């Protein structure tokens, strides 16, 4: 990683791990420690917000330049050349997480027992920034986290179906972001950096039913861009047959503010209405919602089985 890239990322609060990975404390982890508020993944799926580690093994690598992405995109690369060892990345990511949390010890707002638990994370969100499926030893990375008793949440843009098809082991839960109902909007809103992005995403959707893990389709919804296509989304969701569908609002934060406006951020009411219409077009049931995250959960089953169960 060149010094200027590292400088920008560290200034934004990222702890750099090796040559191409990073850790950053989630907003909701801090909220959980300081104000006992938790993220929607705890409410929906049963994880513990204060014990979640947010990381990426490909911090500077992505296959898209999405308009709604909060990250700085001026230095993005696509493929990784030389890669770090998975065991090193896992151990160093845990060490960096602890380093970032240690300053909360002794804060009168923080429960000491909760802080102790936070120092020993048990969930990892492999997402954060960049596209994790570009790390060629992703299966080994997931395996190393599993060896340490972690549950793993992998978030991907779905443009590397061959990686998911051969991934061993699979994560505890696999997210695929589906933020476009058709190829035209995909090209304009997600700005792919490799050829045949839409076709590759559709291959991922076709692959999902065969993967033996919990799967989630996340519709990142941008007002004025991709919300008026419920029937088209329903057809794509039927292809993917995910366990869950998340309808989630674009949030006007970070560098996305240079590409979009606050008018592009849907209200929670608009997200709820989108989810209601999508449920009518599919066999999915309303399962839950979290207004402060502007997200609604639809489930294939009427009752959501929690990760902790």
- Structure-token pair, residue 48: 């513990």
Residue 3, pLDDT score: 84
Q: Transcribe the chain into DSSP letters.
A: --HHHHHHHHHTT-EEETTTEEE---HHHHHHHHH----HHHHHH---GGGEEEEES-TTB-SB--TT--S--TT-BSS-SS---HHHHHHHHHHHHHHHHGGGTT-TTS-HHHHHHHTS--EEEE-SSS-GGGSTTHHHHHHHHHHTT-EEEEEE-S--HHHHHT-SSPPSEEEEE---SSHHHIIIII-BSSTTHHHHHHHHHHHGGGSSSEEEEEEEE-TTTSSS-HHHHHHHHHHH--SEEEEEE----GGGGGTS-GGGS--HHHHHHHHHHHHHHSS-EEEEEEGGGTEEEEESSSSPPPTT-
Class of domain 3-299: alpha beta
Query: Is residue 309 very low, low, confident or very high in pLDDT (cuts 50, 70, 90)?
Result: low
Q: What is the pLDDT of residue 194?
A: 92
Q: 89 with 148: CB under 8 angstroms?
A: no
Q: What is the pLDDT of residue 76?
A: 65
pLDDT tens-digit profile of 109-152?
999 999 999 999 999 999 988 999 999 999 999 999 999 999 99
Q: What is the mean pLDDT of the chain?
A: 95
Pairing mode of beta strands 173-177, 151-156 = parallel
Domain ranges (residues) in the chain: 3-299
Is residue 295 over pLDDT 80? yes
pLDDT band at 308 (very low <50, low <70, confident <90, very high): low
Average pLDDT of the residues in 170-185 = 98
State pLDDT tens for residues 255-285.
899 999 999 999 999 999 999 999 999 999 9
Residue 47: what pLDDT?
96
**Mean pLDDT to the nearest integer, 233-238:** 98
- Per mean pLDDT, which range of 38-47, 64-73, 82-91, 208-217 is the poorest? 64-73
Kindly tell me if the per-residue pLDDT of 78 is higher than 90: no
**β-pairing, 21-23 with 15-17?**
antiparallel
pLDDT at 2: 79
Is the model's pLDDT at 54 over the cut of 80?
yes
Q: What mean pLDDT is predicted for residues 185-191?
A: 97
Tokens coding 223: 């007002």
pLDDT reported for residue 287? 97
CA dist 137 → 58, 140, 167, 168 (Å): 11, 5, 9, 10
> Please, which pLDDT band fits residue 105 given cuts at 50, 70 and 90?
very high
State the Cα–Cα distance between residues 193 and 202, nearest whole angstrom: 16
Q: Which residue has the higher pLDDT, 62 or 302?
A: 62
Query: At residue 75, does pLDDT exceed 60?
Result: no
- Other CB atoms within 10 Å distance of the CB of residue 87: 14
Q: How confident is the model at residue 149, as a pLDDT?
A: 97
Distance between CA atoms of residues 175 and 244, nearest Å: 9
Residues 147-173 pLDDT 10s: 999 999 999 999 999 999 999 999 999
Query: Residue 301's pLDDT is what?
Result: 87
């Amino acid at each position: 990683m060149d010094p200027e890239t590292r400088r920008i990322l560290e200034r934004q609060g990222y702890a750099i791990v090796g040559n191409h990975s990073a850790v950053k404390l989630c907003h909701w982890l801090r909220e959980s420690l300081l104000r006992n508020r938790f993220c929607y993944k705890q409410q929906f799926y049963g994880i513990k917000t204060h014990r979640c580690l947010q990381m990426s093994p490909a911090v500077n690598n992505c296959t898209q330049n999405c308009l709604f992405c909060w990250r700085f995109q001026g230095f993005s690369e696509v493929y990784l050349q030389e890669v770090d060892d998975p065991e090193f990345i896992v151990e160093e990511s845990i060490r960096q997480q602890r380093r970032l949390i240690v300053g909360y010890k002794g804060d009168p707002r923080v429960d000491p027992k909760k802080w102790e638990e936070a120092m020993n994370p048990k969930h990892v969100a492999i997402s954060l920034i960049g596209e994790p499926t570009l790390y060629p030893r992703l299966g080994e990375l997931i395996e190393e986290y599993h060896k340490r008793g972690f549950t793993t949440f992998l978030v991907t843009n779905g443009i590397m179906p061959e990686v998911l098809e051969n991934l061993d082991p699979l994560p505890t839960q696999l997210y695929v972001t589906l933020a476009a109902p058709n190829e035209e909007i995909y090209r304009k809103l997600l700005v792919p950096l490799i050829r045949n992005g839409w076709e590759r995403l559709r291959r991922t959707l076709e692959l999902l039913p065969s993967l033996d893990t919990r799967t989630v389709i996340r519709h990142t919804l941008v007002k004025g861009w991709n919300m008026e296509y419920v029937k088209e989304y329903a057809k794509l969701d039927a292809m993917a047959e995910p366990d869950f569908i998340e309808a989630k609002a674009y949030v006007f934060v970070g560098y996305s503010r240079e590409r979009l406006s606050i008018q592009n951020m849907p209200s929670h009411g608009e997200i709820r209405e989108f989810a209601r219409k999508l449920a009518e077009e599919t066999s999915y049931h309303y399962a839950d919602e979290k207004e402060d995250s502007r997200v609604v959960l639809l489930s294939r089953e009427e009752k959501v089985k929690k990760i902790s169960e």
